[in-house]
Amino acid sequence: MSKLITLNRLKGKELIDALFRKGTVLRSKHLLLRVLESKASENELYVGVSVPKRNFKRAVDRNKIKRQLRIALKKAEGNIPFGGACMLIYTGRKHPLTNELVQGVYELFSQSNSTKQE
């Protein structure tokens, strides 16, 4: 991919609401990616990560998984085929390894790339 995507934090109630209302959903084994593509900010991506309290009661566990998700996003930064906003949600019930999350993020972005080309 020739263009570089800059990752920014997803902020603002309106943008998050629009993401969940109008965004498309991509799934891998233990990850869910909600995407709202934008033509205006083609080289910027606003990203949020989330871990449900339902699956991990302790905040320490949720925060650790969120850190791992951010690491996975940084490693996959060169393979992101779109700009706009997205939310990455971990839906698994056991503590993941960082390598598993990196692989899952790569799968999600390759799914996004293949659906975009069709």
- The CATH number of the domain covering residues in 6-117: 3.30.230.10
Give, for 68, the enclosing helix (H) or strand (E).
helix 59-75
Q: Please write the tens of the pLDDT for every residue from 51-76.
A: 999 999 999 999 999 999 999 999 98
Please check whether residue 90 is in contact with residue 69, taking contact to mean a CB–CB distance below 8 angstroms: yes
Q: Please write the tens of the pLDDT for every residue from 60-118.
A: 999 999 999 999 999 988 878 888 899 999 999 999 999 999 999 998 888 776 666 55
- What are 6's strand-pairing partners? 44
